Structure 1
Amino acid sequence: MTSPEKPTSRLPAPTLWIVLAVLVALGYLFGLGGDHIPRNGDELVYAHISRLTAATGHWLPLVSSYDFMRNTKPPLLFWQAMVVGGWGDHWTLLNLRLPSLAYTWGIALMVGLLTWKLFRSETNPSMLSSGVSAEHRQRHAKVMGAIAAIVYLSFFSTYRYGRPYLTSAAETFWLFGVFFAVAWSPAKLLASRWKFPLLAGIAIGIGCLYKSFAMVVPVGFGLALCYQMVGAKLAPWKIFRRGIVPDAVKVAAICLIGLGIFGLWFVIDPQPGEVWREFVVGENAGKMNSSRGYFQTAFSGSSGILTILTGYFSNALFLLPLSVGGFWAAWRSYRQRAGTAQTLSAAEKVMWLWLLALALVFMLPTQRSTRYLIPAMPALAVVIALYWERIGRIWFSLTLLVCLIGTLAMGLIGYGALRATQNSGLYSPLYWLFLAATVLACGVGMFKKEWTRPVTALAGFAVLFALAWATNPFNGELGRFRADTNARLLGQAVSVPSNFNGHFERYEFIIPGAKIVPYYAEQPVDYQDVDALFKTSRYALVQRRVGQPPCAQCRILDERWDLRSRQDEKDGTMAAFKTPETYWYAKEYLVERLAP
Structure 2
Amino acid sequence: MNKTTFSISRGSWFLLAALWLLLLCLAVVRPLAVPDEGRYAEVGRWMLQSGDWLVPRLNGIPFFHKPPLLHWLQASSMAVFGQYTWAARLVPALNAGLMMVALCVCAQQFSGEATARRAIVMLGTSLTFLAGGQYVNHDMLVATWIGIAIWLFGLSFLHGDQAHLGLARWGFVACALGVLSKGLIGLVLPGLVIFVWLIWSGQARKMWRFPWASGLLIFAVIAVPWFVLAQQQFAGLFDYLFGAQQFNRYTGSNFNNPQAWWFYGLAVLLLLGPWLFFILPEVGSARQVNPAVDPRVFSLMWIWVLAIAVFFSIPSSKLVGYILPIMPPLALLAAWGWERAMARIRYAQLIWRGLVALSLGGAVVINFMIEDFTRERFTIDIAPTLTCLKQTGDALYVVGGYPYDLPFLIQADKPMIVVQDWPKVRKTAGDNWRRELFEGADFDAVAGQALQTPDVLGPASQQHGNWLVAPRKHETLSDLQGWTLVKAGEGWSLYRSAPEGSTPVIHCPKP
Output the TM-score relative to the length of structure 1.
Answer: 0.61
1:192 to 152, 163, 166: 163
Q: Which runs of 5+ in 2 are unaligned?
A: 1-8, 421-431, 433-456, 474-479, 502-511
Q: Secondary structure at the match of 1:539?
A: strand
1:487 to 388, 392, 411: 388
Please state if 1:113 is matched with 2:14: no
The one-letter code matched in structure 2 to 1:305 is: W
The one-letter code matched in structure 2 to 1:380 is: L
Deviation digits for residues 230-289 of structure 1, max 9, x if unmatched?
Answer: 5x46xxxxx6xxx35615x55687567535643222333332633212112211221344
The one-letter code matched in structure 2 to 1:152 is: L
Q: CA–CA distance in 2 between the matches of 1:182 and 1:457?
A: 32
1:326 to 278, 283, 291: 278
Offset, 1:331: 5.6
Deviation digits for residues 389-446 of structure 1, max 9, x if unmatched?
Answer: 33589xxxxxxxxxxxxxxxxxxxxxxxxxxxxxxxxxxxxxxxxxxxxxxxxxxxxx
1:94 to 76, 86, 106: 86
The one-letter code matched in structure 2 to 1:345 is: P
Q: CA–CA distance in 2 between the matches of 1:466 and 1:305?
A: 28
Aligned to 1:156: 127
The total of aligned residue pairs comes to 437
Aligned to 1:5: none
- Structure 1 segment 247-262 matched on structure 2, within 5 A: 250=211, 254=215, 257-258=218-219, 261-262=222-223
Answer whether contact 1:557 1:591 (CA < 8 A) is retained: yes
Answer whether contact 2:467 2:496 (CA < 8 A) is retained: yes
- Structure 1 segment 191-230 matched on structure 2, within 5 A: 191-192=162-163, 194-230=165-201
Offset, 1:204: 0.7
The one-letter code matched in structure 2 to 1:373 is: I
Q: Secondary structure at the match of 1:59?
A: coil
Q: CA–CA distance in 1 between the matches of 2:117 and 2:324?
A: 20
Deviation digits for residues 107-128 of structure 1, max 9, x if unmatched?
Answer: 11222333344442xxxxxxxx
The one-letter code matched in structure 1 to 2:78 is: G
Q: CA–CA distance in 2 between the matches of 1:345 and 1:60?
A: 46
Q: CA–CA distance in 2 between the matches of 1:288 and 1:185?
A: 31
Answer whether contact 2:110 2:294 (CA < 8 A) is retained: no
Compared with structure 1, are the counterparts of its residues 483 and 198 closer, same or farther at alpha carbon in structure 2 (3 Å cutoff)? closer
Aligned to 1:459: 358
Answer whether contact 1:186 1:347 (CA < 8 A) is retained: no
Offset, 1:219: 1.0
Offset, 1:208: 0.8
Q: Secondary structure at the match of 1:463?
A: helix
Q: Percent identity over the alignment?
A: 15
Aligned to 1:443: none
Aligned to 1:352: 302
Deviation digits for residues 174-220 of structure 1, max 9, x if unmatched?
Answer: 22112333555753277236323322112211111111124322211
The one-letter code matched in structure 2 to 1:71 is: F
Q: Secondary structure at the match of 2:24?
A: coil
Answer whether contact 1:155 1:315 (CA < 8 A) is retained: no
Please state if 1:78 is matched with 2:71: yes
2:467 to 539, 558, 583: 539
Compared with structure 1, are the counterparts of its residues 224 and 91 closer, same or farther at alpha carbon in structure 2 (3 Å cutoff)? same
Offset, 1:488: 1.7
Q: CA–CA distance in 1 between the matches of 2:156 and 2:353?
A: 30
Aligned to 1:412: none
Answer whether contact 1:184 1:347 (CA < 8 A) is retained: no
Q: Which runs of 5+ in 1 are unaligned?
A: 1-13, 121-140, 234-238, 394-447, 523-530, 546-550, 561-585
Deviation digits for residues 512-545 of structure 1, max 9, x if unmatched?
Answer: 347644568x9xxxxxxxx979479743445659
Offset, 1:166: 1.6
Please state if 1:380 is matched with 2:330: yes
Compared with structure 1, are the counterparts of its residues 497 and 94 closer, same or farther at alpha carbon in structure 2 (3 Å cutoff)? farther
Q: CA–CA distance in 2 between the matches of 1:289 and 1:36?
A: 34
Offset, 1:484: 7.2
Q: Secondary structure at the match of 1:176?
A: helix
Answer whether contact 2:44 2:74 (CA < 8 A) is retained: yes
Aligned to 2:407: 508
Aligned to 2:263: 307
Compared with structure 1, are the counterparts of its residues 53 and 302 closer, same or farther at alpha carbon in structure 2 (3 Å cutoff)? same
Q: Secondary structure at the match of 1:200?
A: helix
- Structure 1 segment 279-290 matched on structure 2, within 5 A: 279-290=241-252
Compared with structure 1, are the counterparts of its residues 278 and 591 closer, same or farther at alpha carbon in structure 2 (3 Å cutoff)? same
Aligned to 1:263: 224
2:54 to 60, 65, 72: 60
Compared with structure 1, are the counterparts of its residues 386 and 497 closer, same or farther at alpha carbon in structure 2 (3 Å cutoff)? farther
The one-letter code matched in structure 1 to 2:100 is: A
Answer whether contact 1:152 1:378 (CA < 8 A) is retained: yes
Q: CA–CA distance in 2 between the matches of 1:20 and 1:196?
A: 26
Compared with structure 1, are the counterparts of its residues 86 and 509 closer, same or farther at alpha carbon in structure 2 (3 Å cutoff)? same
1:273 to 235, 239, 262: 235
Output the TM-score relative to the length of structure 2.
Answer: 0.69
Offset, 1:103: 1.2
Offset, 1:506: 0.9
Offset, 1:465: 1.9
Q: CA–CA distance in 2 between the matches of 1:94 and 1:506?
A: 14
Offset, 1:556: 5.5
Alignment root-mean-square deviation, CA: 4.5
Q: CA–CA distance in 2 between the matches of 1:382 and 1:117?
A: 12
Aligned to 1:165: 136
